[in-house]
Amino acid sequence: MEQQNYDAIWASVVEQVKTHADVNPSQADAVLARLTLQAFSDGFCIVTADNAFMKGWVEKNFLDHVYRALEELRGVPFTVVLDVDESSAPQTAAPAPRPAAAPQADQGATDATAAPVKAAAPAPRATGAAEGFLNIPNPFARQTAEPEPEPQQEAAPEAIAPEPNDAAEPEAPVAASPTSSMTFSNFVIADTNRIAYEMAVSVAEKPGRAHLNPLFIYGKSGLGKTHLMRAIQNYIQETQPHLKTVYVDTNELVAGYADATAARDTQKSSYKHFKAPYESADVLLVDDVQILERKPGTLDIVFQIFNKLTDNGKQIVLSADRAPKNIDMDERYTTRFNRGGTFDIQPPNVETKVAIIKSYIDEFRLNEGDETLDLPADVQAYIAEVSGSNIRELKSAVTILFMRMKGFHTDTVSLAEAKSLLENHFTGGPSRRVTPEDIQKQVEGYYRISHADIIGKKRSRDIVLPRQVAIYLIREMTDLSLQDIGRLFGGRDHTTVMNSIEATTKRLHENTQFREDLDTLKGLVREALS
């Protein structure tokens, strides 16, 4: 059977998988399109992924749906062999990755004054052993948004339409976005960001493919969304320099729209000038699109740009601090934002944060030219345990400690000194130790159940779910043993506690909304402590 027929068969399987109620269609499109049907007959097929990670991810999240879709389409049960064919990975002229020097003055992704740094292209399909994030922007850099113009100031349709005499107008400076030091090579991969990383690399290798257009990456502030977007930009600029990439923070879009509105009376083409740099892009990366909430003027003109680019096969990459469905804007916008691949980045666990801290230490060693620079293991562990989800704060904590060592001409810092220096540093960290009672109280309030119910014997779903959540959070946020946790919930044994933790962990991997609920609960617990 010719490959084109295999492609058509596989496309029909993907479409069938997308009809399943418990499948995210955009994610199915993005992931399953990375697979290749190699052999097919009734009851049997061979499918290959281009790397082991993608194979494992499909096995865990989609293989059961593939079995089901094949049987639904063909009417017979199927045996599916899923293997790895690395030769099918997209090929590029990318140079071998090289270590990136830490920036001397990286003032954040939107700081146009930062010195450009030549970007190292990634090793495509990398699944690096180290886990963390590097070269996070300065956490103290401030960004301010211009006020959104009143809706009645929006341009009339004729003012937005192209004007014949404007073809030679110069483009705004934003089109020449500076190259940052954020690359795929220095983005350290963890389970919490791996799939978003894979999809970002896929877009960088071959921008414009429908199943990843737009690519939408979301997660809380400081988890690496901007890093991935800048890495896409850097990779394309180095490996496909004929393509024009434009990165813009949404605050800049809002300010630019305000300027165009203000100039409209004297400059009829102001809206066209505003849009021109973005509409001429081959790859447009827009950071923090949640800022467009309740800004109908800017949102409408951004939507025009979005439609023009995607209709012409140009790549859009978007980021936000939440999923498209949770951004307060008209459904026609969120539907389009969610049309391609939508992937989240979750906060790193303690082990990953320790690895990130080690990577920052390596960065400081390189900057200072001093291989002896280090922080004691107990200090590293302390920073990882008390810090919140914002990875930027890890780097600033390491910076504070190294500056203290430098100022006092010492080559180490004690745990007591670190605790004193960082006592009020972490916005997401607790100001006092979390207790099981704190967690139970917040879970009870969130799910509107009584304390008697959460520790009692009732097994209805509206009680079991909050009970499992409370058990999971106590295990994660305190150092209590399984037996001690069981005693807090009516004397349950450690096996029951473990089952609750496993059930919650499984639900976390499968349900994005549930992950967001747990993030909210963690925030409520920490806020109650401050």
**Class for domain 436-529, per CATH?**
mainly alpha
Q: Is the dihedral of CA 490, 495, 499, 505 positive or negative?
A: positive
At 116 the pLDDT is 32
Query: In 3D, which of 383, 260, 253 has the Cα closest to residue 305?
Result: 253
At 135 the pLDDT is 38
At 455 the pLDDT is 94
SS3 181: coil
Residues of the chain with CATH 3.40.50.300: 151-344
Beta strands in 281-383 (DSSP E): 283-287, 315-320, 341-344
Say if domain 350-421 classifies as CATH 1.10.8.60. Answer: yes
Binding residue numbers: 222, 224-226
At 229 the pLDDT is 93
CATH topology for 151-344 is Rossmann fold (3.40.50)
Binding residue numbers for ATP: 222, 224-226
The vertex-71 CA angle with 68 and 76, nearest 5°, equals 145
Distance CA 274, CA 257 (A): 7
Beta strands in 358-466 (DSSP E): none
At 530 the pLDDT is 57
Distance CA 491, CA 484 (A): 9
CATH architecture of the region 3-88: 2-Layer Sandwich (3.30)
Residues of the chain with CATH 1.10.8.60: 350-421
Residues of the chain with CATH 1.10.1750.10: 436-529
pLDDT averages per 10-residue partition of the chain, 530 residues: 77 91 78 87 88 81 91 91 72 37 32 34 40 35 40 38 38 45 79 86 90 89 88 92 92 87 75 88 93 84 89 92 81 80 83 85 84 90 82 86 87 89 70 79 92 92 94 85 88 88 86 83 76
At 121 the pLDDT is 46
Q: Is the dihedral of CA 439, 441, 446, 452 positive or negative?
A: positive
Task: Find where tokens 């949770």 sit.
Answer: 326
SS3 383: helix
Residues of the chain with CATH 3.30.300.180: 3-88
Q: How many residues does the chain have?
A: 530
At 489 the pLDDT is 94
Query: In 3D, which of 262, 246, 248 has the Cα closest to residue 147?
Result: 262
Global pTM exceeds 0.75: no
At 279 the pLDDT is 92
Q: Is the dihedral of CA 190, 124, 111, 322 positive or negative?
A: negative
At 493 the pLDDT is 87
SS3 133: coil
Question: Considering just the CA atoms, what is the radius of gyration of the chain in Å?
Answer: 25
Give residues with Cβ within 8 angstroms of 408, minimum separation 6. none
Enumerate long-range contacts of 301-309, CB under 8 Å, 24 or more apart. Answer: 301/154, 301/155, 301/160, 301/257, 301/271, 301/274, 301/275, 302/253, 303/333, 303/336, 304/160, 304/275, 305/275, 305/278, 305/279, 306/214, 306/336, 307/336, 308/279, 309/278, 309/279, 309/281, 309/284
